[in-house]
Amino acid sequence: MTVIDTDPGIDDAIGILLALSSPEFTIAGVTTVAGNIGIEATTRNAGRLLAFAGREDISVFQGAAAPLSRVGPEPLNLHGEDGIGGVALPDPARPPEGRNAVEWLAEFLLDQPVGTVDVLALGPLTNIARLILASPEAAKRVGRVIAMGGAIYERGNVGPRSEFNLWADPEAAAVVVTSGLPLVLIPLDVTRRVRATREFSGILASSEKSFASMAGKLIESYFESTTNRESRPLHDPCVMLFALSPELFHCENLELSVSTAGNEHAGELAVAAGSTSVRVALRVDAPAALELLERQLTAAQAGDKFKI
């Protein structure tokens, strides 16, 4: 059983499409968090993606609109004002549920066997941190958290060593890292290696399968927002790729701490003896990961219903 915690986001959207096109995932719900755009937009985009896929059976639960304990960043609109590069998607088929994401997640976890629910975290870790702080007994029932975030040996993308998801709410990241929950971190060291070329996006966009075609259009919107780049990293889909085929990734247990500084160093990860041990993906078979992404997206059509 899987819960997707997300702030869509072009690459979030591609990751969600990958999960929706893969019968290996049993998606119990989608929870949303504010990211480079506000919570209303991320929640709407989650509903739009589910409507496109014909998965009105999957509920969306709106989560944190701001970080745990600091003022949230101004919307960066990195993926356009709508967060998904202006790619056409239908309106949500149903509104988000009335319950808050963290309340629902706690209730759901307490109702499921211990260790049977994985959380795939594609955005800032605020919802998961709030779950840990508010409902520790429920949080302990999580099978594992697979989170895109951080940079180990790579440069950052919002600060010298800071990656956006951890930088956006470093206090939440620190709570999750030190919680003792089974955590797999997928940092920039890996996600920058899984790169879509213009040729790759064109192949997907021209597919007769709607999941692949939509993913291709989303990737192409990446290229429209930049110049002189022949490839773009697929950050968040790496979470789903790891869940599908962990053998494509080389992981190590690293003792990590998270900086909660109030400057450009917020969210930096430090490898330091005596800190919390975290499973971290450090290398990836990128060609095989892209092949798996293409294969999964082209194997299913939007509207296919998998077990929930």
Catalytic residue among 79, 235, 250, 265: 235
Query: In terms of DSSP bridges, do strands 142-148 and 183-186 run parallel, antiparallel, or are they unpaired?
Result: parallel
User: Half-sphere exposure of residue 193, counting CA atoms within 13 Å on the CB side?
Assistant: 19
Amino acid at the residue 103: E
235 tagged catalytic: yes
- Token pair, residue 131, equals 């779950």
Residues with a catalytic annotation lie at: 235
